[in-house]
Amino acid sequence: MRDLDITEVARRSGVPASTLRFYEGKGLLASTGRRGLRRLFAPDVLERLALISLGRAAGFSLDDIAHMFAPDGRLRIDRPLLVAKAEELDRTIRELGIMRDGLRHAAVCPAPSHLECPTFRRILRAAASAPTTGARRKRTPRR
């Protein structure tokens, strides 16, 4: 199969050309040359982009993902890192489940004030002692 120009890669993958150039700068992708001013990529770039997308969806940083590719472009996944990420996701799922249940309870709680509700107060205590999720969550350490 012939090399794909950056426009075709963007169209097929749904990844904007600016992101493709950014990924190339980070070492996640390598162009094979140029056709005029347009970068060319090997056809397997689409599979690599799918792997990057999967890694991002799982919460890996771009640096973590970059380390999953050997210098020759082959995949070299750090299995202990995958286990650590899966455990982190399990913790996040538990925390989000508690948050979901708390929101549902707060929505139907008959207490005059949520602060008078023993269930809501237990949820508050649990939230105060739980690690934070979201943007402030710690990254999975690289091994």
pTM of the entire predicted model:
0.72
pLDDT digit string, tens, across residues 17-57: 999 999 999 989 999 999 888 999 999 999 999 999 999 99
CA 127 to chain centre: 24
Q: Tell me what pLDDT residue 121 has.
A: 86
Q: Can you give the pLDDT at residue 128? A: 80
The secondary structure of the chain as a DSSP string is: ---EEHHHHHHHH---HHHHHHHHHTTS----EEETTEEEE-TTHHHHHHHHHHHHHTT--HHHHHTTB-TTS-B---HHHHHHHHHHHHHHHHHHHHHHHHHHHHHH--SSSGGG-HHHHHHHHHHHHSPP-GGGPPPPPP-
User: What confidence score (pLDDT) does residue 17 get?
Assistant: 95
CB atoms within 10 A of CB 129: 7
Q: How many CB atoms lie within 10 A of CB 126?
A: 13
Q: Do 69 and 29 form a contact (C-beta atoms < 8 A)?
A: no
Query: For residue range 90-122, what is the model confidence (pLDDT) as tens digits?
Result: 999 998 888 898 889 888 988 888 888 888 888
